[in-house]
């Protein structure tokens, strides 16, 4: 009996050293993990998953009260709507323009702040401030800046330029892009800085000794090691580009200029008119589009990892 006990102790010690834990320990750890995740999972299901499933269910009914199954009739009617097509086109254009600009500006600022720059700590704090300042209060500043009699038009007049009605012309799209960049660049800079600080400096020193120039070091070392962080930043930027409705609504109201009439404006107007079928159908299509984009990015990242391995 004593010999068996010593053998069991030795097996457990060897399993601990080699990382092969007993099956019972694995089951205990898994149960503990699921126990800690249960509150978050319940909250996610209660406030996100179940309402979304109910929205998909209502999108195939002909009425929210005692409705009957209508198939894809609501989706066909939605796709035939000129307002929805305009909102979808504006949202796609905004993401196609805003996300690449966000990535480029964030990466450039992160590279700049990663060097020994004067007032670097102050600049890092300044780029994070838009994340903690309430949007509603900042929108007032933007309204004062871009109003017909605002500061920006006053500066343009002082230099001999004509005044521009920024939010009632095609320039409204540029204003929303600038607000989006101002709000989200700081967070992306933090993510890029975290990725830059994980790159060993020995790689740069070795490349410089071998005669590699700045562009070669940037493309062969920096960009390669920033690909994982870039995927995260891209996904966050795409998701945030579909949440620009808050700023646009506070600046321009329910019915803004046609160039900034987004999907969220369309859904908000459908909610005000109690057209639940079009609202839920539009929300389902938007969620499906975002899901396809995110899955495509994950597929590209998976192939990149396999190629690097």
pLDDT value at residue 9: 42
Q: Are residues 109 and 12 in the same domain?
A: no
Q: Cα separations (Å) of 54 from 43, 202, 264, 290? A: 16, 54, 19, 19
70 falls within a domain: no
Q: How confident is the model at residue 102 (pLDDT cuts 50, 70, 90)?
A: very high
- pLDDT above 70: percentage of residues in the chain: 87
Q: pLDDT digits over 254-309, tens only?
A: 778 888 888 888 888 888 888 888 888 998 999 888 889 888 888 888 887 777 66
Give 53-64 as a DSSP string.
Answer: HHHHHHTTBS-S
252 falls within a domain: yes
63 falls within a domain: no
60 falls within a domain: no
Give Rg (Cα) of the chain: 26
Q: Which of 3-12, 202-211, 268-277 has the lowest mean pLDDT?
A: 3-12
Q: How many residues does the chain have?
A: 309
Q: What is the pTM of this model?
A: 0.77
Q: Cα separations (Å) of 39 from 34, 44, 51, 59? A: 9, 9, 17, 29
53 falls within a domain: no
Provide φ and ψ at 210, rounded to 5°: -80, 0
Question: At CA 219, angle to CA 202 and CA 198, rounded to 5?
Answer: 40
66 falls within a domain: no
129 falls within a domain: yes
Residue range(s) defining the domain that contains residue 189? 78-308
Q: Are residues 42 and 83 in the same domain?
A: no
Q: Are residues 33 and 120 in the same domain?
A: no
The total domain count for the chain is 2
pLDDT value at residue 15: 52
């Amino acid at each position: 009996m004593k010999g068996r006990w010593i053998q069991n102790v030795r097996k457990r010690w060897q399993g601990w050293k080699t990382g092969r834990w007993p099956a019972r320990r694995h089951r205990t750890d898994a149960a503990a993990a699921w126990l800690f995740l249960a509150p978050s999972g319940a909250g996610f299901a209660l406030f996100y998953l179940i309402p979304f499933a109910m929205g998909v269910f209502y999108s195939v009914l002909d009425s929210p009260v005692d409705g009957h199954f209508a198939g894809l009739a609501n989706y066909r009617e939605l796709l035939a709507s000129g307002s929805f097509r305009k909102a979808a086109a504006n949202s796609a254009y905004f993401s196609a323009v805003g996300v690449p600009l966000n990535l480029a500006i964030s990466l450039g600022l992160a590279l700049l702040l990663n060097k020994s720059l004067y007032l670097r700590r102050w600049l890092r704090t300044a780029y994070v401030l838009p994340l903690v300042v309430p949007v509603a209060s900042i929108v007032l500043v933007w309204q004062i800046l871009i109003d017909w009699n605002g500061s920006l038009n006053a500066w343009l007049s002082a230099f001999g330029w004509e005044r521009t009605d920024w939010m009632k012309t095609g320039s409204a799209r540029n204003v929303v892009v600038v607000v989006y960049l101002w709000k989200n660049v700081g967070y992306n800079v933090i993510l890029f800085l975290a990725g830059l600080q994980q790159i060993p400096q020995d790689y740069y020193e070795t490349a410089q000794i071998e005669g590699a120039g700045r562009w070669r070091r940037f493309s062969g070392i920096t960009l390669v090691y920033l690909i994982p962080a870039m995927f995260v930043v891209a996904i966050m930027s795409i998701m945030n580009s579909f949440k620009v409705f808050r700023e646009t609504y506070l600046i321009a109201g329910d019915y803004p200029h046609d160039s900034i009439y987004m999907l969220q404006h369309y859904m908000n107007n459908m909610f005000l008119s109690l057209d639940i079928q079009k609202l839920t159908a539009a929300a389902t299509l938007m969620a499906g589009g975002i899901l396809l984009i995110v899955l495509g990015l994950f597929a590209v990242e998976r192939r990149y990892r396999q190629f690097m391995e």
